[in-house]
Amino acid sequence: MADKAVPHFHNQAGVTVIAVGSKEFMCIGALPPFDHPHVFLDMGSETEIICQYCSTLFRYDPKLKPGTAEPAGCVWHDETPDKTAKAA
């Protein structure tokens, strides 16, 4: 299965600022099942953006690799089993 093209970040820890290495990404708020609607955020030419649902401040850091964050635990990887996979 291919990785997501758009990185997803969460703020389960409730940190003040999340530094991200991408200017376009999805915010999910908290971890499922307590997540908010997954919203696409695009910083454009800016270096900061606030999620309109959870008020998390995301700050672009060009030193970070795309798809990464600081704190690193704020990157969300959907580990839901593939529902299209057939049982062996």
For residue 83, tell me if it sits in a domain. no
Beta carbons of 12 and 26 less than 8 angstroms apart: no
For residue 56, tell me if it sits in a domain. yes
39-78, pLDDT tens digit by residue? 999 999 999 999 999 999 999 999 999 999 999 999 999 8
Q: What is the CATH number of the domain that holds 29?
A: 2.60.260.40
Domain with 57, as residue range(s), is 8-74
For residue 58, tell me if it sits in a domain. yes
Instruction: Tell me how crowded residue 50 is: count the other CB atoms within 10 A of its CB.
Output: 12
For residue 40, tell me if it sits in a domain. yes
Mean pLDDT of 23-47: 97
Q: Write out the DSSP string of the chain.
A: -PPPSS-EE--TT--SEEEES-SEEEEEESSTTSEEEEEEEE-TT-SEEE-TTT--EEEE-TTSPTT-EESGGGB-------TTSPP-
Enter the pTM of the model: 0.85
Number of domains into which the chain is organized: 1
Residue type, 34: F
Q: What percent of the chain has pLDDT over 70?
A: 85
pLDDT of the residue at 51: 98
For residue 79, tell me if it sits in a domain. no
For residue 1, tell me if it sits in a domain. no
pLDDT of the residue at 82: 57
